[in-house]
């Protein structure tokens, strides 16, 4: 399957451009082989460097856009994989939140996630300018291409990060 078809397939999944993580993960799985195939081609390093689509010639614009879409959505999916962990940690936090010493230990345990790793997640995806309730994935700033992901898919992540703010 060609990259243009893969891109059209993604955008046909949802008319309102608010996607669920189930849709995103399904699309990533469906096009994983295509992504891996393109990664083996020369010039893919340009895409990784995040240059604008106009600067990415010898690759087709469709290949470049597909690679950028795939990489950005794969990153979001990676962040989403922490949802169950955050759910469990929030249960623990709510049990101990009245004990300063227990909370201190809990914060120390989760500090690298809440204050380091997921800081970039907040910066990159908590931009509610366009559709206020959903996470915004800015795929290509120069082309103003955005995908919005339902914030309910990140309920525990958001609550977890609120504790660290």
The string over 73-112, giving b where at least 16 C-beta atoms fall within 10 Å of a residue's C-beta and e elsewhere, is beebbebbebeeebeebbeebeeeeeeeeeeeebeeebee
- pLDDT band, residue 164 (cuts 50/70/90): confident
Give the tens place of pLDDT for each residue, 14-66: 776 789 999 999 999 999 999 988 887 765 544 554 444 444 444 566 788 88
Q: What is the pLDDT of residue 51?
A: 47
Count of the separate structural domains present in the chain? 1
Domain that holds residue 20: 3-163
Give the tens place of pLDDT for each residue, 53-101: 444 444 566 788 888 889 989 999 999 999 999 999 999 999 999 999 9
Q: At what angle do helices 3-12 and 61-80 cross, to 10 degrees?
A: 50
Model pTM?
Answer: 0.81
- pLDDT band, residue 11 (cuts 50/70/90): confident
């Amino acid at each position: 399957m060609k990259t243009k078809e893969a891109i059209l397939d993604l955008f046909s999944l949802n008319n309102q451009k608010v996607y669920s993580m189930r849709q995103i993960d399904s699309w990533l799985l469906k096009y994983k082989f295509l992504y891996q195939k393109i990664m083996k081609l020369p010039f893919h390093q340009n895409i990784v460097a995040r240059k604008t689509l106009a600067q990415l010639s010898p690759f087709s614009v469709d290949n470049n856009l597909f690679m950028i879409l795939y990489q950005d959505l794969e990153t979001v999916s990676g962040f989403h994989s922490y949802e169950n962990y955050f759910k469990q940690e929030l249960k623990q936090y709510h049990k101990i939140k009245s004990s300063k010493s227990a909370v201190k230990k809990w914060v120390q345990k989760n500090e690298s996630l809440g204050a380091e790793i997921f800081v970039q997640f907040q910066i990159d995806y908590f931009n509610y300018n366009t559709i206020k309730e959903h996470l915004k994935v800015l795929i290509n700033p120069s082309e103003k291409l955005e995908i919005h992901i339902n914030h309910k898919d990140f309920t525990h992540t958001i609550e977890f990060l609120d504790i660290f703010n």
